[in-house]
Amino acid sequence: MFGASPKGAPKSKEFDDVYFSADDGLAETEHVFLDGNRLPRGWQGRDRYVICETGFGTGLNFLAAWKRFEDTAQSHQRLDFISFEKYPLDAEEIRLHLHPWAEFFEGHLSRMVQLYPALMPGFHRLALNERVSLTLVFDDVNIALPRLEARVDAWFLDGFKPSSNPDMWSENVFTHMARLSKPGTRLATFTAAGKVRRGLAEVGFAVEKVPGFGRKRDMTIGCFNQESLS
Ligand SMILES: C[S@@+](CC[C@H](N)C(=O)[O-])C[C@H]1O[C@@H](n2cnc3c(N)ncnc32)[C@H](O)[C@@H]1O
């Protein structure tokens, strides 16, 4: 099911899409998901910050969030990261795909790989350290998101392009995102597809198209229960 894009980024044969940009996956993650959700501003002054992601893939987004949190948050703050994945990679595949950033992530990549669970369906909670946890949910997001109880501060929507994976961008997912959000909860995604923006707006997110990463002209950011994103 996995291959490589011409420039080496991992690619899903099933969805005919890459896990991250072949140009610079980490720079894409930082632009789309971290800057798109205004991090670190979002967790300033917060004791606990909760990020929920649709599509864990290689864990690149998680590691980038963990690194930025560690570089910018105060010592009493906590980060809880929840991520859904229907077709989990194994630990060795992850290590291989993220090898180019092993130095940047210092010990974080090896710590994540060390604790990475067996590929059994269900919720797996990994305590990376005393401040950062990762809850990996190996299941279809449409089945597992309705079972989640949490207060989410930021959403990373990263489930392959809507045209090849429409299930990931369903009304069901959007409805449960709204249930788990509070006024001011933010979202960011690489896609600017009209169907996605309309679906998010219908459940209460103010959404806006902003410049995407690299050759992608647009992406989407949003904020729950607010008139505007300012
Ligand atoms: C673009 S990749 C995510 C890249 C990832 N965030 C990273 O940092 O490497 C999209 C992911 O969504 C997963 N996926 C696709 N459909 C899904 C579904 N219905 N439920 C949960 N995960 C799904 C894929 O297996 C894939 O790993």
- Tell me whether residue 2 is in a domain: no
Would you tell me the crossing angle of helices 171-180 and 194-202 to the nearest 10 degrees?
40
Say if ligand 1 is within 6 A of residue 30 CB.
no
At which residue do the structure tokens 């209460």 appear?
204
Q: What is the pLDDT of residues 136-157, one digit of tens each?
A: 999 999 999 999 999 999 999 9
- Tell me whether residue 108 is in a domain: yes
Count of structural domains, the chain: 1
Tell me the pLDDT band of 230, cut-offs 50, 70 and 90: low
CB atoms within 10 A of CB 87: 15
- Tell me whether residue 135 is in a domain: yes
Q: What is the pLDDT of residues 78-113, one digit of tens each?
A: 999 999 999 999 999 999 999 999 999 989 999 999
Say if ligand 1 is within 6 A of residue 84 CB.
yes
Q: What is the pLDDT of residues 9-28, one digit of tens each?
A: 788 877 878 888 878 899 99
d(CA 33, CA 54): 12
- Tell me whether residue 19 is in a domain: no
Q: Residue 106 belongs to a domain with what CATH number?
A: 3.40.50.150
Q: What is the pLDDT of residues 104-138, one digit of tens each?
A: 998 999 999 999 999 999 999 999 999 999 999 99
Substitution candidate for ligand 1 out of 141, 145, 148, 169 with most atoms within 8 A of CB: 141
- Tell me whether residue 13 is in a domain: no
Residue with the smallest CA separation from ligand 1 atom 19 is 140
78 Cα to the center of ligand 1, angstroms: 25
- Tell me whether residue 104 is in a domain: yes
126: enclosing H helix or E strand: strand 122-127
Domain hosting 162: range is: 24-224
- Can you give the pTM of this predicted structure? 0.95
Write the CB contacts of 117 (distance below 8 Å, at least 6 apart in sequence).
Answer: 124, 126, 136, 138
Mean predicted confidence (pLDDT) in 194-208: 97
Say if ligand 1 is within 6 A of residue 189 CB.
no
- Tell me whether residue 12 is in a domain: no
- Tell me whether residue 229 is in a domain: no
Q: What is the pLDDT of residues 60-72, one digit of tens each?
A: 999 999 999 999 9
d(CA 114, CA 112): 5
Tell me the pLDDT band of 1, cut-offs 50, 70 and 90: very low
Mean predicted confidence (pLDDT) in 208-219: 94
Say if ligand 1 is within 6 A of residue 158 CB.
yes
